[in-house]
Amino acid sequence: MNVGFIGLGIMGRPMAGHLQKGGHTLFLYDIGKLPDDLLSAGATGCASGKEVASKAEIIITMVPDTPHVQSALFGKEGVAEGLSPGKIVVDMSSISPIATKDFARRIKERGCEYLDAPVSGGDVGAKAASLTIMVGGSQQAFDKVRPLLELMGKNITLVGDNGDGQTTKVANQIIVALTIEAVGEALLFAAKAGADPAKVRAALMGGFASSRILEVHGERMIKRNFDPGFRIELHQKDLNLALQSARQLQVSLPNTANCQELFNACAANGGAAWDHSGMLRALELLAHFEIGQTTG
C-alpha cells in the first residue's frame, strides 16, 4: 500500500521502518529532518501533511500531544486538505479521547475513515515491532489497516468506537505510572534497609509481584539508567489527560494524582526528559537516600 507517515521521532522512525521493510511505499513528513535511512531505502519526503495525504491511501500520525495532532490534521497545509474520499487516517499518538472523537467526526465529513490507535511498549517495543496497539474505529477500517499494524505490534485489539482506543491508552498509562511508583518504593525501601536491591529484584521476579515494569524499569533504577525510552514529560501529558477526564467523569484517581506530583518533582529538578522510571529520584529526594548508597 501507499502509506503516509507523519512524525518520525523516537517511536515513529522505527515504526515507519517496519512498514517499509514490509514492502509498503512510504510518503514522509516531519517538522524536523527526515531519516536518511528511510529515504535511501526508497521513501519519498513530502513538504507537508497535505502532500502526504494526496499521495497515500492510509495516513498515519505519530506526534507528541493533542495540539500537534490537531495541527497535523487541520492546520495550514495539513492532512485534511489533501484527503479524498475513501482514505483512512490513523492517529497512533496518545492524545485526548474527547478531542479524538471530534477529529474523527471532521475526517469522516470528508468521506474518509478514522482510527485512533495509540501504542504501548516505548521505544523498545517500537524497535522490536512488539507494540501493544489499542484501536478505536470501525471494523471495516480496522480490517484494512490491520496488516500494517501487525508489522509494528503484536497485541492488537479493536476496543470499540473512535475515542475508545485513546481511553484504553490513558488507562494503560495510569497502571504504568502506579506500578513504576510501587517498584520505586519497594526497591528504595529494600536498599535503605540494607539489602542488595538487585538481589531483591531478582527474588521478586519469581513471585506474585513480578511484572514487566519490575523487570525493565527495576533494572533501570538499579543501574541508574534514566536515558529516555519514554520521557517523564510525555507521561505527565498522559496523566493530565487521565486527571482532566476524571474530573469530567466525576471519578477520583488519588494515586494517579500522587504519581503526577512525583513526576512534577522530577521535572522541577531538571528531569522532564528523564525516562519515566526516573520517578524513583523523587522518592529518593523524599528519603534523602539513593539506591546504591551504603546505609552506614
**Whether 264 contacts 236, CB under 8 Å:** yes
**Residue 34, φ and ψ in degrees, nearest 5:** -75, 145
Q: Which of 101, 169, 199, 223 is catalytic?
A: 169
CA dihedral 200, 201, 202, 207 (to 10 degrees): 90
- Pairwise CA distance, residues 110 & 90, whole Å: 15
Find the angle CA(43)-CA(66)-CA(6) to the nearest 5 degrees.
5
The closest of 66, 33, 34, 272 to 170, measured between CA atoms, is: 66
The four Cα atoms 187, 193, 198, 199 give a dihedral, to 10 degrees, of -120
169 is annotated as an active-site residue: yes
DSSP H stretches of helix in 193-253: 197-204, 212-223, 232-249
Q: Which residues are catalytic?
A: 169
